[in-house]
Every structure is written in structure tokens, then in C-alpha cells.
Amino acid sequence: MYRNSVLLVLASLGIGNAQLNPNQGAAMMRFACSQLVVERLDPLVSPGVIGSPHVHQIVGGNSFNASMAPVAYDPPSRSTCTSCTFSEDFSNYWTAALYYKARNGTFKRVGQFENGGLVQNGGITVYYIPPYDGVSNVTAFRPGFRMLAGNPTLRSTAGESRGICHRCFEGDNFTPFGGAPCTGNDTSALPDHFCAGGIRTTVTFPTCWDGVNLDSPDHQSHVAYSTIPFEPYYEPLATRPYTAAQERGKCPEGFPVKLPQLMYEIMWETRPFNKKELWNEDGSQPFVYAMGDATGHGQHGDYIFGWKDDSLQRAINARCRNDKCKELKSQSNEAAMSCTVPQTMKEDVEGNEWLEELPGGVMVN
Ligand SMILES: *[C@@H]1O[C@H](CO)[C@@H](O)[C@H](O)[C@H]1NC(C)=O
Ligand SMILES: *[C@@H]1O[C@H](CO)[C@@H](O)[C@H](O)[C@H]1NC(C)=O
Ligand SMILES: *[C@@H]1O[C@H](CO)[C@@H](O)[C@H](O)[C@H]1NC(C)=O
Ligand SMILES: *[C@@H]1O[C@H](CO)[C@@H](O)[C@H](O)[C@H]1NC(C)=O
């Protein structure tokens, strides 16, 4: 079963096409990052604030803190462990937590299950994807670099970032797997029907950088999405063979530096709630992101780079695949899972005994 899901994952990402095109292979890094902490802290959008507007689930280096000033605050030198497989990766990755809202108006946090072939305690699956042509180089993020994908205030498709979506697994064991993220039946909204195999969220970040600013006031305008994504698996199967490699990943004017494609996957354990009487009386879906978003359009991801020295650049240049890479130091799943930090903003974010309101008093809107 384990092997099958890995093969399914790889096949769906286009890796199987290497047979057709021996010089092209999606040599993407794909690895587990377990839960570091779940809390209302956001050093990117709300620096210094203990009790940011909504709950995040955070993974990566244990120097995660309310204030992480670019460059001055150096995650590799301040961290003593990371919840990610590659032990030189002290970056922090986070997304909004998801809640189940019961008919009586109380909340409980939705848990997470392991992604295909990985062993992790909740958290996020992280991808760094190089250009698919197998030869073009990308520039790894610089110390102090950070960015945000998506917009927590969105409640409709208007203004959405490319590549943030939900996949409803209609059967168990990631079936049917479907194509690339955000193709096929994937929706930017939360699914409107029971997902027998749970829900996956994908968050895709921009790959073009202005080459100057480590951050920007909205944490987005120093980066841009490429004109054509450089990963061919974003194209529907019907349009293959793919756009010429040199056309892929072309950056818009003003963003000359090509970055690796950073992508997150989060696997939501919504299966315990697949009962008619647990959904809303009008039949609508009962899940709400921590910012009070019952639509799903506000899902977003945050990133603070924190790889030690030039380890990420070396791994990408070497076209490392998945979670094994001879350029990098790895740690055991147990060691990664044991790296956690206590909440700075101490409060119940789980709702095992049910929460009267979303943490921070956030209203569903
Ligand atoms: C986190 O920030 C506080 C100040 O807000 C500082 O005292 C502390 O040393 C920081 N933690 C780390 C791991 O650097
Ligand atoms: C609210 O609903 C949940 C789920 O049905 C239930 O477990 C909980 O006991 C209810 N709380 C109250 C106060 O009725
Ligand atoms: C990419 O970088 C490697 C090593 O840094 C270099 O040998 C190669 O020529 C570069 N490829 C391109 C297409 O510039
Ligand atoms: C998409 O939905 C249709 C209709 O429900 C279904 O037949 C098809 O198998 C789905 N495709 C995937 C990849 O889930």
C-alpha cells in the first residue's frame, strides 16, 4: 500500500514520463516537516505580536519566534533542531489551521494524516522543485528571504494566487490520485461533499524574484509567479507534449531571478466528520480556516528561509530527489518529530473539549 501510494504520487507528478524523455525528470525535493507548534504567532505578517489574528500550524527550525528580523535573526545559528527531514533546514513554513464547526457553534481543530510514503506527525510536506528541463539553474533563497502566498482575506475566486487549491480524495489511500495540483477536480474552495479519503491543500509560491528585496510590505511584491509555470504537470494531460522547456518558468519584467518552486501540501483528516448529521443543516460543508474562512479561498502559506550555508543551493544543483540527498544531512523521522516548541501564545487551540469560539475570537465571515 505504501509503495503503491509512492508510485502513484511520483507518476502523477510526471516522473514516470522520464521514460518518454530520458533527459527530463522532475528531480524535485519532497520531504516531511512535522508539527513544531500550533499557535497565534506570525513573525512575517504580525512581527513582535504575541497573539497574531489567527492560528497557524508551524513547522521547521525551533528558533521560530514572534520577531525574526530579516538577516539579523539567523535561524540556522539560533535553532538547535528542526522538525524537517533535512537537518540543515531551519526554515519556518506555516499555513492556517483548519477547524470543524459543529451545528451548536463549537469548534475543534481538524487533525492531519501522513502524506504518501512519508512518516510525520501532522505538519506540512515541503517541495522544492527545480526547472523540469533538467539543466536550467535556479537561485536558492538568500538569508533573510521571506514571502507569503495567497491572501487570508479572500472569500471568493477573485484575486486568488495561482496554485492554491484543495483536492478531495473520493476514495481511500489517495485515490483517485488525479493529476498535478490545481488540475482536474481540484478546487480553490473547500470541497462541498464528503471526501472519503480526506482533503489535501496545496500552496504554491511564486518563482520569480526582483533580486534585491528580501521582503516587501505585503510580503508578495518582491516576487511574482512565472508567466508559464515551469512544472509541466500543471498542464492538463491533453495538452502534452509540453511547452518548450525554455519557455517554461519565464519571469515577468522586473523579476529577473528564477527561484526554486516552493510548494506545501497539508493532508486534512476530515474523515471523522463524513456524516450528514455532522455537516450543516443546509448540507453545506462544516470546515472553517482559522481566519474565519468557511469558503477555503483564504488559504495561504508563509515562508522564512533558514537553510544552513549553501545547503539548499547545493541540493538543487545536484537535482536531489524526494527526501534522500547525498548533498544534505538527514535525520530520522523520530528526531524530526521530537523537535517541538511550547506555545508562546498560550491558549487552547485544539478544542478537544470543544472551543466556544475560534482562537482570538475570530468570527466566521
Ligand atoms: C525570541 O525573541 C525574544 C525576544 O522577543 C528573545 O529574547 C529570544 O531570545 C528569542 N528566541 C530565540 C531562540 O532567539
Ligand atoms: C456541540 O456539538 C459537539 C459535536 O456534536 C458535541 O460533541 C458537544 O458536546 C456539543 N456541545 C454542547 C455544549 O452541546
Ligand atoms: C548550472 O550550474 C552549473 C554549476 O553551477 C553549471 O555547470 C551549469 O553550466 C549551469 N547551467 C546553465 C544552463 O547555466
Ligand atoms: C472528477 O470527478 C468526476 C465526476 O465525479 C469523476 O468521474 C472523476 O473520476 C474525477 N476525477 C478525479 C481525478 O478524481
111-117: long-range contacts (C-beta < 8 A, 24 or more apart)? 111/268, 111/269, 112/266, 112/267, 112/268, 112/269, 113/198, 113/267, 113/268, 113/269, 114/32, 114/267, 115/32, 115/265, 115/267, 116/5, 116/6, 116/8, 116/9, 116/174, 117/2, 117/5, 117/6, 117/9
Percent of the chain with pLDDT over 90: 76
Residue among 286, 252, 240, 256 at smallest CA distance from 99: 286
Distance 63 CA to ligand 2 centre (A): 37
Position 254 pLDDT exceeds 50: yes
Query: Separation of 248 CA from ligand 3 center, angstroms?
Result: 17
Between 23 and 77, whose confidence is greater? 77
Q: Assess if residue 335 is contained within a domain.
A: yes
pLDDT at 265 over 90: yes
Is the pLDDT confidence value at 242 over 50? yes
Cβ atoms of 100 and 108 within 8 Å: the answer is yes
Q: Atom 13 of ligand 4 has which residue's CA nearest to it?
A: 178
What total of structural domains would you count in the chain? 1
pLDDT tens-place string over residues 76-91: 999 999 999 999 999 9
d(CA 289, CA 107): 11
Predicted TM-score (pTM) of the model is 0.91
- Residue 340's Cα: distance from chain center in Å? 19
Mean pLDDT for 173-186 is: 84
Which ligand 4 atom is the nearest neighbour of the CA of 178?
A: 13
Residue range 40-51, pLDDT digits in tens:
999 999 999 999
* Spacing, Cα 136 to ligand 3 middle (Å): 7
Q: State the distance from the centre of ligand 3 to the C-alpha of 134, rounded, in angstroms.
A: 11
At 86, list the grid cell.
Answer: 533535512
108 in ligand 2 pocket by Cβ < 6 Å?
no
Assign 19 to helix, strand or coil: helix
pLDDT digits (tens, 9 = 90+) for 130-167: 877 667 789 999 999 999 999 999 999 988 888 899 99
**Residue 107 Cα to ligand 2 middle (Å):** 9
All 3 cell numbers of residue 159? Answer: 484575486
Domain extent at residue 104: 26-364
Q: Residue 162 falls within a domain, yes or no?
A: yes
Residue 119 has pLDDT above 80, yes or no: yes
Is 1 contained in some domain? no
Angle at 147 between CA 145 and CA 148, to 5 degrees: 165
Q: Do the domain assignments include residue 6?
A: no
Confidence at residue 211, expressed as pLDDT on a 0 to 100 scale: 97
Q: Where are the beta strands (DSSP E) in the chain?
A: 29-33, 37-39, 56-60, 92-96, 98-101, 107-109, 124-129, 146-150, 164-168, 199-204, 208-209, 223-224, 257-258, 261-268, 287-289, 300-304
Whose C-alpha lies nearest to ligand 4, atom 4?
185
User: Quick one: what percent of the chain has pLDDT higher than 70?
Assistant: 87
Residue 39 maps to a domain: yes
191 CB near ligand 4 (under 6 Å): no
> Binning pLDDT at 50, 70 and 90, where does residue 250 land?
confident
Residue 123 pLDDT: 96
The helix/strand/coil state of 187 is strand
Helix (H, G, I), strand (E, B), or coil: what is residue 353?
A: coil
Reported as a pLDDT band with limits 50, 70 and 90, residue 177 is: confident
> Residue 24: pLDDT above 90?
no
Contact 150, 161 (CB under 8 A): yes
Q: Which ligand is nearest to the CA of 134?
A: 3
Residue 345 φ then ψ, to 5°:
-90, 95
Within a domain: 71? yes
Is the pLDDT at 276 greater than 80? The verdict is yes
> C-alpha cell of 248?
517554461
Question: What is the C-alpha separation between 73 and 82, in angstroms, rounded?
Answer: 16
28 versus 348: the higher-pLDDT residue is 348
Residue 249 maps to a domain? yes
Check whether 358 has a pLDDT greater than 50. Answer: yes
Which residue's CA is minimally distant from atom 1 of ligand 2? 104
236 lines ligand 4 (CB under 6 A): no
Higher pLDDT, residue 159 or 3: 159
Ligand 3, atom 5, lies closest to the CA of 317
What CA–CA distance (Å, rounded) separates 337 from 348? 21
Distance CA 237, CA 123 (A): 30
Alpha-carbon gap, residue 342 to 314, rounded angstroms:
33
Mean pLDDT of 233-252: 61
pLDDT of residue 130: 85
Judge whether 133 lies within some domain: yes
Out of 200-214, 224-238, 336-350, pick the least confident.
Answer: 224-238
Q: What is the pLDDT of residues 195-210, one digit of tens each?
A: 999 999 999 999 999 9
Cis (ω within 30 of 0) for the bond into 241? yes
